[in-house]
Structure 1
Amino acid sequence: MTRRSPILTLLYACSAIALVIILVSHPQTSFEAAIRGLKVWWEIVFPSTLPFIVLSEILMGVGVVHFAGVLLEPLMRPLFNVPGTGGFVLTMGFASGYPVAAKLTTRLREQGSITQAEGERLVSFTTTGDPLFVIGAVSIGFFHSEQFGFVLAFSHYASALLLGVIYRFYSPFAPSSRPLEKNRLPLPLRALQAMHRARIRDRRPFGRLMGEAVQSALHTLLMIGGFIIVFSVLIQLFATIELTRFLSSLLAVFLGPLGVPSAFSSGIIAGLFEVTLGAQGVSVVSSSVPMIWKAVVASAIISWGGLSVHAQVASILSETDIRVAPYLIARVIHAGLSALLAFFCWKPLTAASTWFSERDVPVFMPTTSGVPVVSWWDSLLHSGLAAGALLCVLLLLSFLLRGTKGHKPQ
């Protein structure tokens, strides 16, 4: 069925009409769900995402991204088949969560720093949840277990990197961005040279750069907020008309032969649409179900991300020629890899987590949205530290990899 098919047009029209009828029939339910989605956006997404988007825009404008790109080229190109600037997207995406990686990938594509295929590879493995959400809100807030957080974090981020290695073979014959020119200058000087050239090409004074960065961030966050509210309403309406329960019962029939407890069916259906509701649904499953199965299902849901996040990413990528289909396929692969890692690494990771004390974990506070969250300052501090630490690790690996090659400039 192609996009021009009249049957597809009819399905779109019937679905839209049905949603309008359901919405009008349940006005109070829709209003309460919209308020709940608004609170999630205002209390969690807005304060934790705005600084990173603004800072990323400024770093691109002053050329820091190109500086990091030169330094990370020896690592990102052979490992993930993307230019070194992809290392900046990887760092910010892992530290600040979805959909920041999609926004940064779009900006690099608009600047001509990456090709279409490289953008599709990059956004596929860098779109992840942020550490505070994975370890704090889900593991500690929902499951009340610090050990659970180590399993989720490892399986989520390790599988994302593994996905990046797999996706390096995606579209192997597509055009690639131009690699770094070989010269006799040391790598740090070449990085400074690239940063200076990028700043000169940008030409915007700092005041204008700051203003446009804030404007772009607010525009993106308003779009994200709209999707969060819409999906909050849709999920509540589906629950009201018993569609969610029907899908859960249908899914339970298929989970049994796979060895997965059928009690997870409700959480999986909720996670199909929205990751937070899915993780919360898994956490309330009976305590008689082994924790290892809860880790497997929760890890898969977090790596899947939910249709709400996918709609946000699709809206952002629509500004370029980067296609959404490879990203959606990657989400399915990511969920499967994450579930497998959580299953096989459960015992060693839970044992290793005893080495860490509880005082290293931030305190999460209840909110009116029902999702636990740290204060905005702690959120910014820990996400910033995570970004800095990851960037340092990538730079170290890049220098080590370049040193082992024994490269001699021409």
Structure 2
Amino acid sequence: MVLGGNRLNVSQLKTITLAASVTILAASLIIFPQESFEASIRGLNMWWEIVFPSLLPFFIISEMLIGFGVVKFIGVILEPLMRPLFRVPGVGGFVWAMGMASGFPAGAKLTTRLRQEKQLTQIEAERLVSFTNSSNPLFIFGAVSIGFFYNPHLGIILACAHYLGNVCVGLIMSFHGRKEESKTNTTSNKIFPIKEALSALHRTRMKEKRPIGKQLGDAVNSSIQTLLLIGGFIILFSVINKLLFHLQITPFIANALNMFFRMLMLPADLTLPFISGLFEITLGSQMTSGVNSATLLQQAVIISFVLGFSGFSVQAQVASILAQSDIRFRPFFIARIIHGIAAAIITILIWKPIYVKFYQDKPSNAVPVFNNLDWHFWEQAFLRMKEWGPVFTLISLMIYIILYMFRIRENSKV
């Protein structure tokens, strides 16, 4: 194939493909306006009810902890643990904990922030971001287990598989880039170097010249800007997922996967939820819960893979955050495939020892009878989030606008 007398190279082919894809997307928006609008509203509701209020406090607190030197302190303490296991500095322990508590894409944001401050090398940052992006417990228990399956005990299986899968990814990705990095061993010989950690905390705080008020304002601005970006991706991929279904692209891919699913002894009805989950985990999980021809174990395996893979929506969010530094996206994408496979395998391995043994597994789609005390906390937390989330989001956006106006006013005076 030629273009302008020359052979069509990869770059030109990529340009044509991207242009054609965007054109088809724009035409689809015109052809399916009602469906696109409904998908956009669904993505917006998810963002301002759940994502924004659940992530903003973690983002702001994380920024302040980094500025005050607490993260550096934790890094020195955890160095003897994180370095041998995952070949990352001790600060990775903080990122890992915050990533599990707050969910996607907190791990990517914190890793990028630490890379910008030179607390991580490029290779270390690529290792760290690969296993510190995970779904938070509120989503696994509140949205998936209780919201979709009405079964809190399933959340224990999904959470164990998800977080153990993250550990497997961290151990595997510790081999990433060993040839590229320096062979210098930076592991501390001290088990608990408290004095060294306190010294690092003080030095970090003294290097920070901004007053506390300025740090807090910058933390709020940075966090809300990131969450606005995340919201845009959630809405965009919600619309794309809906349009792909109406364009018969998703059903076509699902039909192509039917034979592969039969080889894995999975019902063909799970292929469409699986494809949808590859784009957006919430929709994929909801669709999987409605497949009556599948057993609960088969549904759990699909959801575990989808949660580990994270979906293209989350991956696009991570890619946009990593683009602010020199951290490459490819290792992260490979890690998501590994995480999905590992989580699915772990689900199968722990199903009988944990779910069947302790929770008296019911027939495939029977709604289990369970004690309200087991799931009451997660249900209430999820319902409270949906009830007060929009109010919290609107108040935070108003604060962001005020701070942004003050910043513009200060810059105009300079």
Tell me the TM-score range normalised by the shorter chain: 0.7 to 0.9
Structure 1 residue 17 displacement after superposition: 1.1
Distance 2:9 2:165 in 1: 33
1:310 to 312, 315, 333: 315
C-alpha contact 1:48 1:379 (8 A) present in aligned 2 = no
Distance 2:25 2:356 in 1: 48
C-alpha contact 2:279 2:311 (8 A) present in aligned 1 = yes
Count of residues in Structure 1 that have an aligned counterpart in Structure 2: 372
C-alpha contact 1:150 1:353 (8 A) present in aligned 2 = no
* CA spacing shift, 1:78–1:46, aligned 2, 3 Å: same
Corresponding residue for residue 369 of structure 1:
none
* CA spacing shift, 1:3–1:206, aligned 2, 3 Å: farther
Distance 1:221 1:3 in 2: 37
Q: Does 1:347 align with 2:352?
A: yes
Corresponding residue for residue 305 of structure 2:
300
Corresponding residue for residue 243 of structure 2:
237
Distance 2:339 2:85 in 1: 17
* CA spacing shift, 1:357–1:80, aligned 2, 3 Å: farther
Structure 1 residue 34 displacement after superposition: 1.1
Distance 1:141 1:186 in 2: 43
Q: Does 1:116 align with 2:125?
A: no
Counterparts of 1:248-263 in structure 2, within 5 Å, are: 248-263=254-269
Corresponding residue for residue 398 of structure 1:
none
Q: Kindly provide the CA deviation profile for residues 348-393 of structure 1, in whole angstroms up to 9, marking residues without a partner as x.
A: 111565499641432536xxxxxx933249999xxxxxxxxxxxxx
Corresponding residue for residue 365 of structure 2:
none
Distance 1:377 1:8 in 2: 41
C-alpha contact 1:132 1:379 (8 A) present in aligned 2 = no
Q: Does 1:375 align with 2:384?
A: yes
C-alpha contact 1:68 1:84 (8 A) present in aligned 2 = yes
Identity of aligned residues (%): 45
Structure 1 residue 69 displacement after superposition: 0.4
Structure 1 residue 2 displacement after superposition: 11
Corresponding residue for residue 129 of structure 1:
135
Distance 1:231 1:329 in 2: 21
2:290 to 276, 284, 295: 284
Corresponding residue for residue 140 of structure 1:
146
2:70 to 45, 64, 73: 64
Corresponding residue for residue 327 of structure 1:
332
C-alpha contact 2:77 2:192 (8 A) present in aligned 1 = no
What's the TM-score once normalised by structure 2's chain length? 0.85
Corresponding residue for residue 274 of structure 1:
280
Distance 1:186 1:99 in 2: 30
* CA spacing shift, 1:364–1:180, aligned 2, 3 Å: same
Corresponding residue for residue 392 of structure 2:
none
Q: Which amino acid aligns with 1:158?
A: L
Counterparts of 1:6-45 in structure 2, within 5 Å, are: 6-45=12-51
Distance 1:136 1:283 in 2: 14
RMSD: 2.5
2:379 to 351, 364, 377: 364
Q: Which runs of 5+ in 1 are unaligned?
A: 366-371, 381-410
C-alpha contact 1:147 1:353 (8 A) present in aligned 2 = no
Q: Which amino acid aligns with 2:325?
A: T
Corresponding residue for residue 343 of structure 2:
338
Q: Kindly provide the CA deviation profile for residues 145-181 of structure 1, in whole angstroms up to 9, marking residues without a partner as x.
A: 1221111010100010111011111111233598367
Corresponding residue for residue 151 of structure 1:
157
Structure 1 residue 217 displacement after superposition: 0.4
Distance 2:371 2:193 in 1: 40
Q: Which runs of 5+ in 2 are unaligned?
A: 1-6, 361-369, 390-414
C-alpha contact 2:96 2:107 (8 A) present in aligned 1 = yes
C-alpha contact 2:109 2:321 (8 A) present in aligned 1 = yes
What's the TM-score once normalised by structure 1's chain length? 0.85
Q: Pick which of 22-31 and 356-365 moved more.
A: 356-365
Q: Which amino acid aligns with 2:77?
A: L
* CA spacing shift, 1:280–1:203, aligned 2, 3 Å: same
